[in-house]
Chains A and B, each alone.
Chain A
């Protein structure tokens, strides 16, 4: 152990304790939490915030006495937005640093890169971002939204509340929009929307030439149906998209746009006066009115800076970390299998009110919020559901409808209810 450390300390990642190294005497082996978020490269902007969130949460926990009477040590590594590097760093966290749990990843592809390593070495990963579902790994807890916790309620809102009859599904060309749109297409068809009334378009990352697409969307209204846009456009591309929308004078009253990847952080790069009334669906908005949220925002701004905003994946980490702490206390150990068992049924109050529950399919039950963009770059919450249980396998695709995930009783993440067999124990990657 020591030899290995000295020999390879030069190649090992930066490790530092979040709040000094005041480990208690009885904790010869400190509890280590790995943080696997990109600190450089294209994803750094989103993921650095989550790294800081983790450091804040760990510092708070340590101030409150740590866990199992031990201080928690954060091990931060930088996978640099490089997908293969995620796998390498995950292996390093588990074998070299011997972390007890990892909080990390943002993009789906990075999670798919890490999955085989986590499963091989029986690690534990908390994944905090909304994603496309169709996955349930024994070793991953998904604290972000599954499609039925974000996309489906948003589409219901469009159908019922806004009376949208014609849909434009605009997305960046990668896995999350592809799968989500696939599910939505099926869902809309099931709800009586004709295939001709669903317009799908994919653009590359960072796309900037939106004039034609916006014109296409406007032209959708030519049969007199109410048009709505479901946007899974990612990152920077949103800026050009919203600029073009504003230039074309499309107001939310004419063609509402609901986005699944635009949060407070993304809006800070935009002048939102022309976007007032357009929508976003998340499980958390910074504007949520609750005591817990006010306290969270206060401690975050004290930790990271006065003008910093909070967002949905941060809440996911907040819930995930606190649940993990509770599960470790309940299990009395950080052993992965014991903690996993203790996680099921863990409850923790949401920042938006209500209680999040960890389900046996490794997803959370969380409320779904729909917010309207306001002129100051925030969201005005206009709809909040009760807690929706996350569904690993969507009910709206025939292949997935027969699958369930239940790690508690069935011990299987991909269980076929028709044949009553476990399709596989490892996950798809």
Chain B
């Protein structure tokens, strides 16, 4: 079974090999190993990129394979981040509060402890009461469950409603975008209880690991991201390769025909929509402890569109395409906007890439859509074809 899977999916095998090699190299070069050829801030960037690759392959499955252009998967990513962020904030603050209350004359009551934690967390937004939404934040297990369940349930309910009413194509895209907008506005409100525009911060300080340096913690999170990406890749490769995958692709190509063949189209779509939302949530839960802060701006509709851009540039309908797209575009973005790219002097005008990168990205994207619908991944096809043509 195992062998037949990799035999069917040679790309998965290659991908896992490449990912392992990459992880090992990065580990050796990291500050934690002593060589310190990769700075911790760059290590964090690499780890975050792996998480972005994971959400990109989820996007690829739902869009490239199933034909649902969801403009909401980055919202699921953000929800995963919020879910884990709540525990990180609560647990970190609880430690500080309990230590500071230790020397109090009277041993603190549970209420006093909760109030003190609330004061620390919500003091910055002018409140000290715990909102209902934080009811489970003391428990890592429950919040980890929330990482999976909240995006999953949200996708399930939303998908069920939408697919049931046969909302398809661009209408569905607009609807998912509206959902994302509603979510980001919801998170943005102070009354929601998630600290409004400030969001959750200081997430890089993992409770219980204070003794470890950020170099070590970042490396561990990098490993976790690599493992998650590997597992996600195998999971999706398995889903899209079997009979299930054939049905899903058929739905993309002609939904009505598949329905006439007796397949329960809505069920398949719902399954894909939900499972990818869950994986997006997991990716988010790994991403934000590395980013250190999550706030509503992260899940604005534009972020989800960028996700689609990565997948389109990388190449739809192939998992490695999504990985390439996410990695290349997000790293290029930070290179260009970080001032790494040299300015181009046209004589009458100096092109400063910090300002012009988005213009380049936008136009590249238009060009890719128009002329290379297969994206960067399409180049591999060309190579293979040439190899095949060669005598």
Contact = CB atoms under 8 A, between A and B. Distances in A.
Asked whether any CB of A lies within 8 Å of a CB of B in the complex, the reply is: yes
Contacts of B14: none
Given A40-B354, A40-B355, A202-B190, A112 B293 contact: yes
B100 A179 contact: no
A204 B292 contact: no
A353 interface: no
Contacts of B346: none
Residue from B39, B103, B291, B338 with most neighbouring chain A CB atoms (10 Å): B338
Interface string A77-94: 110101110011001100
A11 B331 CA distance: 9
Nearest to A110: B293
A60 interface: no
Interface string B34-66: 001111111011000000000000000000000
Interface string A2-27: 01100111111110000000000000
B199 interface: yes
A8 B39 contact: yes
Given A12-B340, A399-B123, A173 B45 contact: no
Interface string B146-186: 00000000000000000000000000000000000000010
Nearest to B93: A428
A8 B291 contact: no
B196 A178 contact: yes
Nearest to B119: A399
A428 B39 contact: no
B187 to A, nearest CB: 11
List 3 A-B pairs, minimum CB-CB distance, nearest first.
Answer: A14-B339, A182-B126, A174-B197
A277 B99 CA distance: 52
A181 B37 CA distance: 48
Contacts of B214: 120
A13 B339 contact: yes
B100 to A, nearest CB: 5
Contacts of A134: 123-124
A68 B340 CA distance: 31
A393 to B, nearest CB: 10
Given A9-B340, A88-B44, A113-B293, 12 more contacts: A3-B37, A8-B39, A84-B292, A87-B293, A109-B197, A109-B293, A112-B202, A112-B293, A117-B292, A175-B126, A179-B125, A429-B201
Contacts of B38: 8
A3 B355 CA distance: 29
Contacts of B128: 399
Interface in A304-359: none
Scoring A109, A182, A421 by chain B CB atoms within 10 A of each residue's CB, the highest score goes to A109
A330 to B, nearest CB: 32
A183 B190 CA distance: 16
A80 B39 contact: no
A96 interface: yes
B359 to A, nearest CB: 12
A83 B196 CA distance: 14
A78 B37 CA distance: 23
B9 interface: no
Nearest to B294: A84
B190 A178 contact: yes
A208 interface: no
A108 to B, nearest CB: 7
B37 A84 contact: no
A12 B42 CA distance: 9
Contacts of B201: 109, 112-113, 115-116, 429
A135 B293 CA distance: 18
B125 A175 contact: yes
A175 B196 contact: yes
Nearest to A175: B198
Given A10-B340, A179-B124, A116 B37 contact: no
17 contacts: A11-B340, A13-B338, A14-B340, A39-B354, A78-B338, A84-B292, A91-B41, A92-B41, A95-B39, A96-B41, A113-B201, A134-B123, A173-B189, A204-B188, A419-B104, A419-B105, A422-B100
A134 B120 CA distance: 10
Nearest to B290: A84
Contacts, number: 150
A419 B124 contact: no
Contacts of A175: 124-126, 195-198
B134 interface: no
Contacts of A422: 100
B297 interface: yes
Contacts of A82: 297
A109 B39 contact: no
Contact of A109 (B96, B198, B354): B198
A423 interface: yes
Given A424-B96, A428-B120, A429-B201, A78 B188 contact: no
A231 to B, nearest CB: 17
Contact of A419 (B103, B196, B205, B338): B103
B337 A80 contact: yes
Interface string A227-268: 000000000000000000000000000000000000000000
B334 interface: yes
A65 B127 CA distance: 49
Nearest to B102: A421
Given A83-B297, A95-B41, A179-B124, A77 B103 contact: no
Contacts of A109: 197-199, 201, 293, 295
B37 A7 contact: yes
B358 to A, nearest CB: 9
Interface in B95-145: 96, 100, 103-105, 119-121, 123-128
Nearest to B29: A7
A151 to B, nearest CB: 13
Interface in B1-41: 36-41
B204 interface: yes
A40 B74 CA distance: 23
B335 interface: yes
A174 B196 CA distance: 6
A423 B116 CA distance: 10
A400 B40 CA distance: 36
Nearest to A1: B36
Nearest to A40: B354
Contacts of B339: 13-14, 77-78
Contact of A92 (B39, B204, B291, B337): B39
Contacts of A135: 124
A421 B338 contact: no
B357 to A, nearest CB: 9
A39 B354 CA distance: 8
Nearest to B291: A84
Contacts of B294: 84
B196 A173 contact: yes
A88 B202 contact: no
Given A78-B354, A84-B293, A115-B202, A4 B36 contact: yes
Nearest to B44: A88
A429 B126 contact: no
Interface string A160-183: 000000000000011100110111
A274 B191 CA distance: 35
A83 B295 contact: yes
A364 B260 CA distance: 75
Contacts of A4: 36-37, 39
